[in-house]
Chain A
Amino acid sequence: MSNTNRHVLSILVEDRFGELARIVGLFAGRGFNIDALAASRTLEPELSRVVLVTRGDDTVIEQIIKQVNKLLRVRKVNDMATTPHVERELCVVNVRAAGGKGEEELERILRLTGAHVLSHYSGGFTVELAATPDQIDSFLERLRPLGIRDMVRSAPIAIVKPAVEADGVDGTGPLSATG
Chain B
Amino acid sequence: MSNASSPRPADAPESNDRRTTRAVEPVGETMRGARILVESLIKEGVDIMFGYPGGAILHVYDELHKQASRISHILVRHEQGAAHAAEGYARSTGKVGVCMATSGPGATNLVTGLTNAMMDSTPIVAITGQVATKFIGNDAFQEADIVGITRPCTKYNYLVKDVKDLAETIKEAFYIARSGRPGPVLVDIPKDITANEYPFIWPESIDIPSYKPTVKGHPLQVKKAVDLITKTEKVILYIGGGVVNAGAAPEILELAERLNLPVTPTLMALGAFPPGHAQALGMLGMHGTYTANIAMHEAELIVNIGARFDDRVTGAVEHFARKAQKIHVDVDPSSVNKSVKVDLPIVGDAKVVTRQLIDALPPGPPPERTAWWNRLRDLQKNHPLRFREKGDVIMPQRVLVELADITKGRHICATDVGQHQMWAAQYYPADSPRKWLTSGGLGTMGYGLPAAMGAAMGHPGETVLCISGDGSFQMCIQELATCVHEGLNVKIIILNNNFLGMVRQWQELFYSRRYSEVGMKYFPDFVKIAEAYGATGLRAEKPSEVRAVLEKGLSTPGTVVMDVIVSKEANVYPMMPAGAAHYEIQEEPLDDAPAPEPRELA
- Chain A interface residues toward B at CB < 8 A: 13-18, 21-22, 25-26, 29, 45-46, 59, 62-63, 66-67, 69-70, 72-75
Which residues on B sit within 8 Å (CB–CB) of A16? 18
Determine whether the beta carbon of A21 is less than 8 Å from that of B176.
Answer: no
The one of B147, B151, B156, B334 that contacts A63, using a Cβ cutoff of 8 Å: B334
What residues on A are CB-neighbors of B176 within 8 Å? 72
Other CB < 8 Å A-B pairs besides A59-B337, A67-B334, 16 of them? Answer: A14-B18, A18-B147, A18-B148, A21-B151, A29-B152, A46-B17, A63-B334, A66-B333, A69-B334, A70-B332, A70-B334, A72-B155, A72-B176, A73-B208, A73-B211, A75-B210
- Residue B209 at the A interface, CB < 8 A? yes
Question: Given A14-B210, A70-B334, A72-B176, do A46 and B151 touch, yes or no (CB 8 Å)?
Answer: no
When each residue 139-160 of chain B gets 1 if its CB lies under 8 Å from chain A and 0 otherwise, what string results? 0000000011001100110010
Cβ of A127 to closest chain B Cβ, rounded Å: 40
Q: Let me know if B322 is at the binding interface, CB within 8 A.
A: no
* Complex: A66 Cα to B332 Cα, angstroms: 9
Number of A-B contacts (CB under 8 A): 50
Known: A16-B18, A17-B159, A63-B338. Contact between A25 and B209, CB under 8 A? no
Whose C-beta in chain B lies nearest to the C-beta of A68?
B334
Which residue of chain A has the shortest Cβ distance to B18 in the bound complex? A46
Minimum C-beta distance from B423 to chain A (A): 33
Q: Which residues of A sit under 8 angstroms from B155, Cβ to Cβ? A: 72
Q: Is there an interface contact between A72 and B332, defined as CB atoms closer than 8 Å?
A: no
Contacts of A70 in B (CB 8 A): 332-334
* A-B complex: 7 closest residue pairs judged by Cβ atoms: A66-B334, A75-B210, A72-B156, A29-B152, A70-B334, A72-B211, A67-B334
**Cβ of A10 to closest chain B Cβ, rounded Å:** 15
List B contacts of A73 (CB < 8 A). Answer: 208, 210-211
B209's nearest neighbour on chain A, judged by CB, is A75
Q: Is the CB of A69 within 8 A of B333?
A: yes
Mask, B2-18, CB within 8 Å of A = 1, is: 00000000000000011
Name 27 interchain pairs, CB-CB below 8 A, sorted by A. A14-B18, A14-B210, A15-B18, A16-B18, A18-B147, A18-B148, A18-B159, A21-B148, A21-B151, A22-B151, A25-B151, A25-B152, A26-B152, A46-B18, A59-B341, A66-B336, A67-B334, A69-B333, A69-B334, A70-B333, A70-B334, A72-B176, A72-B210, A72-B211, A73-B211, A74-B210, A75-B210
Q: Return the chain B residue nearest A28 by Cβ.
A: B152
Question: Complex Cα distance A125/B132, Å?
Answer: 50
B332: A residues at CB distance < 8 A: 70
